[in-house]
A and B are shown apart, each in its own frame.
Chain A
Amino acid sequence: MLEKVLKSVEKLDKKITTLEKKAAGETEELVNAAYESDEILEDIKEEYEAWEYHGTEIDRLKQLRDYLLQDCTKLTPDEKVFLARHPKRPHIDDFIEGLFTDFFEQKGDHLFDEDRSIYGGIARFHGIPVTVLGHRKGHTMEESMAYNFGMPCPEGYRKALRLMNQAEKFRRPIITFIDTPGAYPGLEAEEHGQGEAIATNLAKMSQFHVPIIAVVTGEGNSGGALAIGVANRILMLENAVYSILSPEGFASILWKDADRHKEACELMKLTADDLLKAGVADGVVREPLGGAQRDYKEVFKNLDEALYANLKELMTLSPSGCKSERQMKYRKIG
């Protein structure tokens, strides 16, 4: 149902934008024309009528869109999972472009391989040099395949650790973006020590003296998410989810039936609000009605505010205070 609603909303959004552009263009012409000559007053009158027509049409469409969007005011956990995985949702590339400047990408673990499912480097955030990294998903099938659908191998986690070690060395805050179905369950991934790579990241991240902020932007599943998520602050986009396993995996372990994933969503307490209550998430970043894919700018604005406020607060801590604050966050759970 939500899928249908969103498709209609998307169509309406497109139509409204086109009409708005058209109307704006015509108004501009209108004004220009007024300066040029009184002789074409008749033409202007016609165009003005056209603009008025578009105006009403836009209003009508907006009303229809808002009516449809009412369906999105109270989403079920299962619908949030759908939104969290929406292919048009902003991904790490978009966030880096929208929130950071002077980005310099760093590639490879410098041990064995370059894992493109982890993307990161050095950039400025409000002028402050930071290390930024996260899971990478694509918007198209080709991109998704190149990034292995955001499922890292040990090399990806080791690349993340390399970048974070440098952040610690140069005293740069670390900002990570979490959006992964989980660590890649593959033959080579196991042979190269998936467990060891994740474990090492957890251990080392607990020791860093620089502020770490993790943002769950889409789906954060299992140790594959946590491996770049041991942070002082965990922010979650409103429709992001964070859990022990994908709902499908959860259902298949618990009931040997992956098709019962909707039921699993209800039990898993995986929404941003659930995690805020559990004390795992520290803040929820609002999304436009209907999901982040509808308006990147609004998401960037909200996230930018939240990130900056948290970062400013963390930068007042001493290095050892920053480390112990992070350790305490996890020490308290369970």
Chain B
Amino acid sequence: MGTFLDSLSFPARVRKDLGEVFLKKDKEPVFIQCKACNRRALKQDWQKNYYVCPVCGHYRAIGAYYRLSLILDKGTFKELNEGMEPKDPMSFPEYRDKLKVQTEKTGLPEAAVTATGKVGGHKVVAIVLDSRFFMGSMSSTVGEKVTRAVEYATEKKLPLIIFSASGGARMQEGIYSLMQMAKTAAAIEEFNAAGGLYISFLTHPTTGGVTASFASLGDITLAEPGALIGFAGPRVIEQTIHKKLPKGFQRSEYLEAHGFVDKIVPRSEMRDTLIQLIELHT
């Protein structure tokens, strides 16, 4: 951070896609602009607030590793199947280039991070889909990583927590993407049959093939406030039924009211809620 005088020395550098505002020479952004209310707030205020907008309360997308750092006990994080890279099973034009861009933007090789670690002293398997990478879409590698982590949890008899965030199928992987739904759902069902606890945590957005597979199969289903959750996207629905959708349609609160979510959990209470639930099952 620069001095107060520095902060007056505009022009600043702005990364519009991320809404980050840098002051001259700074490597870290000083201000972050909210995508909902467009107001800027100090990064340190965002941080204190777990990246929920200090002005309007909008939930900003957070990275997979950052989310894991919010829930896991310090020093217990251990990644599973680290560095698994996407394949290009259909030799789809420009797919590899697009993946490169996603990796440059996020530093991730794929949209899923899988790990073991402890939550309040209890060992768990945690899976996080990162919406910043290709909208968290389901590729064959995402499906494979999820399946392997679930199988690991089944084998080691560990509770399973999955944070879903996905725009749906990875179009560039076609039928291979579709088949991941069957594969992951089967893995969850085997985990279920073995008596494991699966907490499905839905974050913005959880849609398409992820909603229609592992995300909807939790023993306990939690959701972050205001997350878009559904199978078909709202635009497709509006085009099909030629009607405007009701306010708040497909949002967490709407799903809670219609019987598909156990509880809406703010980010600040995420870790405590998980600890409570795991302890109720031990």
Contact = CB atoms under 8 A, between A and B. Distances in A.
Interface string B142-153: 011001000000
B240 A185 contact: yes
B238 to A, nearest CB: 9
Contacts of B171: 244-245, 250, 253-254
Contacts, number: 159
B56 interface: no
A183 B231 contact: yes
Interface in A181-227: 183-187, 189-191, 193-196, 198-200, 202-207, 222-223, 226-227
Interface string A318-330: 0000000001001
Contacts of A261: none
B261 to A, nearest CB: 11
Contact of A334 (B140, B190, B243): B140
Nearest to B260: A193
Given A185-B236, A253-B171, A203 B178 contact: no
Nearest to B210: A195
A227 B211 CA distance: 13
Contact of B147 (A195, A203, A331): A331
B211 A334 contact: no
A268 interface: yes
B179 A202 contact: no
B185 A202 contact: yes
Contacts of A184: 240
Contact of A190 (B92, B185, B230): B230
Given A187-B243, A190-B230, A267-B93, A226 B216 contact: no
B258 interface: yes
Interface string B222-246: 0000000011110011001101011
B150 to A, nearest CB: 12
Contacts of A207: 186, 189, 193
A309 interface: no
Given A187-B237, A334-B141, A223 B231 contact: yes
Contacts of A331: 147, 183, 186
B72 interface: no
Given A194-B231, A278-B176, A269 B90 contact: yes
Max chain B C-beta neighbours (<10 A), residue from A186, A206, A330, A331: A330
Contact of B213 (A202, A249, A267): A202
Given A185-B236, A193-B260, A196-B216, A203 B189 contact: yes
Contacts of A30: none
A190 B236 contact: no
B180 interface: yes
A190 B176 contact: no
B175 A242 contact: yes
A244 B213 contact: no
Contact of A202 (B89, B175, B186, B232): B186
A8 B184 CA distance: 48
Question: What interface size band does chain B fall in?
Answer: 35 or more
B182 A230 contact: yes
Given A206-B189, A269-B90, A200 B216 contact: yes
A223 B209 contact: yes
Contacts of B140: 333-334
A206 B150 CA distance: 15
B189 A186 contact: no
B174 A199 contact: no
B203 interface: no
A280 interface: yes
A206 B191 CA distance: 12
A203 B198 CA distance: 14
Contacts of B260: 193, 196
Most buried by B among A185, A186, A196, A244: A244
A330 B216 contact: no
Indicate the member of A194, A275, A334 with the most B CB atoms within 10 Å: A334
B186 A206 contact: yes
B217 interface: yes
A161 interface: no
A270 interface: yes
B212 interface: yes
Contacts of B258: 191, 193
A243 interface: yes
Contacts of A254: 171
Interface in A230-259: 230, 242-245, 249-250, 253-254
B237 A190 contact: yes
A198 to B, nearest CB: 4
Contacts of B141: 334
Given A244-B177, A269-B174, A195 B217 contact: no
Contacts of A243: 174-175, 178
B230 A195 contact: yes
B231 A198 contact: yes
Contacts of B243: 187
Q: Name the 10 nearest CB pairs between A and B, nearest first.
A: A334-B140, A185-B232, A206-B186, A195-B211, A202-B185, A199-B216, A198-B212, A195-B231, A194-B231, A203-B189
Interface of B: 87, 89-90, 92-93, 139-141, 143-144, 147, 169, 171, 173-183, 185-186, 188-190, 192-193, 208-209, 211-217, 230-233, 236-237, 240-241, 243, 245-246, 249-250, 258-260
11 contacts: A186-B240, A187-B241, A187-B243, A190-B250, A204-B189, A242-B175, A243-B175, A268-B90, A270-B174, A327-B186, A333-B180
